[in-house]
Copies of this chain bind each other. A is one copy, B any other.
Amino acid sequence: MVINDFLRSRTMGDLTADELLALQDSITDIRHFQPRTIAIKEGAHLTESTLLIDGLMTRYSSDRKGNRQLVALQVSGDFLDLHAYPLMRLDHDVGTLTACEVAVLSHDRIWKIQKELPELARKLWFLTLLDAAMNREWVFRLGRLKAPARLAHFICEMNARLFAVGKSDGREFELSVTQFDLAEICGLTSVHVNRVVRQLREMELCLIRDGVVEILNYRELVRFSDFDPDYLYLKSEVLERLDQGPGAVEQTA
């Protein structure tokens, strides 16, 4: 199950067989969404939470004029709105970027988990706080970094998160977002994102094109963007592999 891909690489640790069963037992439905659609509207009263199985989804707030600010980008294995379980309703919208498949978990079953499997409940709690940690880092990114470092920092985050679930080799990964999406993530305009993408390319730090990101100089990209993956709560062993990059595997073999 995709959630285990996620937890495996985190400091909180893996699920036991029992816990995995309990979670699978909580799934009441599998759903599919078209690209660029709204999945959950802000304010709706919710009695279920969803786990992203495949695709790219986002959570965002909009201002009065309709300008969006993305507050999270979710990839396979991420819970989209587990926080809706204690909160009962969301303070933001959830939408898709690409076509998506999600698993639906009823809050009744999560309540049952809370009563019967406190260890698992604690792991779920951990997951919601991991999202919060990313939210905080996004605050830092927007508040203290200039546009080029902001974008670079985001690239580093996605690389690390996708690496953790086996969807990046540590230096290159698929990321189906437009420059407009990147602008909504980084608090910039798409015009400026375009110039910044070019800048990062000319600095030979990374290439961003056609839904693929290629990191040319990992060490320098990390330094340039003030990226410190601590907030992702990855196991130290995963961090080491990430640091070494994809070439290192053969060397140790």
- Taking beta carbons and an 8 Å cutoff, which residues of A are in contact with B? 11-12, 42-43, 59, 61, 63-64, 67, 69, 71-72, 83, 85-88, 91-92, 111, 114-115, 118, 121-123, 125-126, 128-133, 135-140, 142-145, 186-187, 226, 230-231, 233
Residues of B within 8 A of A126 (CB): 86-87
CA distance A61 to B137 in the complex (A): 8
- Copies of this chain, whole number: 2
Quote the shortest CB–CB distance from A89 to chain B (angstroms): 8
List 16 A–B pairs whose Cβ atoms lie within 8 Å, in order of A's numbering: A61-B140, A67-B144, A69-B144, A71-B136, A83-B129, A85-B125, A87-B130, A92-B136, A111-B122, A114-B121, A118-B118, A128-B128, A128-B132, A129-B132, A138-B139, A139-B142
CA distance A178 to B248 in the complex (A): 49
Quote the shortest CB–CB distance from A79 to chain B (angstroms): 12
| B187–A42 touching, CB < 8 Å | no
Residues of B within 8 A of A140 (CB): 61, 63, 69, 71
Quote the shortest CB–CB distance from A130 to chain B (angstroms): 8
Quote the shortest CB–CB distance from A234 to chain B (angstroms): 12
CA distance A88 to B133 in the complex (A): 13
Shortest beta-carbon contacts, A-B, top 7: A143-B187, A132-B132, A135-B135, A142-B142, A91-B231, A69-B143, A86-B126
Quote the shortest CB–CB distance from A149 to chain B (angstroms): 9
Residues of B within 8 A of A71 (CB): 136, 139-140
Residues of B within 8 A of A137 (CB): 61, 91
Also in contact, A233 and B118, with CB within 8 A (given A69-B143, A143-B142): no
| B139–A135 touching, CB < 8 Å | yes
